[in-house]
Amino acid sequence: MNYLKKLLIDWLIFLLFCLFMFLFLFAEEIKNISIFSRIPTSFFNVNTIFLSIILEAIPFILLGVFVSAIIQSFVSENAIRRLLPRNAYLAIIPAALLGIVFPICECAIIPVIRRLIKKGMPSHVGVVFMLSAPIINPVVYASTYFAFKSTPYIANARMVVGFFSSIIIGLIIYQLFKRENILKDRINRHHNHNHHHTKGNRLLETFYHASDELFDTGKYLFIGAFIASLFQAFLDRNVLLSIGTNTILAPGVMMGFAYVLSVCSSADAFVASSFGSTFTEGALLAFLVFGPMIDIKNTFMLFAYFKKKFVLYLLLATPIIVYLTIFIFQLIFL
């Protein structure tokens, strides 16, 4: 029964994607048909936005699943343990800086973190890496610096706020889930294969794991992108702009906006800079820090791979800590 349900969901998602591709390719022809001419433009915008999110995220998803598969095939549990300090608190600091060496965006990070935790990385360390890597990495720093050429300190502020926020959230997760397994029990379709540790078989095993991961992750990306595109197409942005200068409300609004837009962290700085004349710098920072940590599309992926209790605590702790960190940063520096 569960298999049939899963198969039905997979086919529905595939048909939805085919429908969006059809609308994208033949949108103008459809608009010219009299019966469809009265359909509001917003409905066609949903299609365009959905595909733009998918096309932007897919390369990074592919990167993420292959990194995850390589970790599964070539990285041992002992190697993970040797890389990190044994002290639970000291291990958090290098975890927050791993993105400098492994510049992975939020579209790709979740399958990688799941694999690392399965290999022996402490859960709270994995959470810190998951939250910080999409922000504290050279690609994101460069894109933020170029997007805010007139105010380059925004790029530095983004790194600093992201660093401290991820560490605080990691400490909270450590206190809540010290000895708990936060991963869902998932059955790997290829776990019964006899994988001998030869180079050829390890490469084959890598592709097996990558294909499994891609199909599992891809469907949740599609669901998240669809919901995000609905919000983007029908949300009245004028309401948001009217409170852009309020130092109390604006950061929260921009965090909500970042969650809905689900823009990849390597490109979100250019979106944020377009609001520079309307929103406070603190609000722009909130957008730049919170969005890469949690958005609609990776929320679905989190629920797919992690236990519900953990995800709910993470979804509660992250916006609160980011907002408070931004608020304190505003008081001191802005």
CA 290 to chain centre: 10
> Residue 306's beta-bridge partner residues?
183
- What is the CB neighbour count within 10 angstroms for residue 248? 11
Q: What is the pLDDT of residues 164-186, one digit of tens each?
A: 999 999 999 999 998 889 998 76
Residue percentage of the chain with pLDDT more than 70: 81
Amino acid identity, residue 229? S
In this predicted structure, the answer to whether residue 266 has a pLDDT above a threshold of 90 is no
166 vs 243: which has the higher pLDDT: 166
42 vs 192: which has the higher pLDDT: 42
Length of the chain: 334
Average model confidence (pLDDT) across the chain: 81
Residue 213 is predicted with a pLDDT of 66
Q: How many separate helices (H) and strands (E) can be counted in the chain?
A: 15, 0
Lowest mean pLDDT among 211-225, 261-275, 294-308: 211-225
Confidence label for 72 from pLDDT (cuts 50, 70 and 90): low
In this predicted structure, the answer to whether residue 218 has a pLDDT above a threshold of 60 is yes
Amino acid identity, residue 323? Y
Determine contact, residues 279/254, Cβ cutoff 8 Å. yes
Tell me the C-alpha distance between 325 and 243, whole Å: 20
- Tell me how far CA of residue 139 lies from CA of 24, 108, 117, 267, 285, in angstroms: 30, 14, 25, 10, 17
Tell me the C-alpha distance between 98 and 133, whole Å: 7
Residue 199 is predicted with a pLDDT of 57
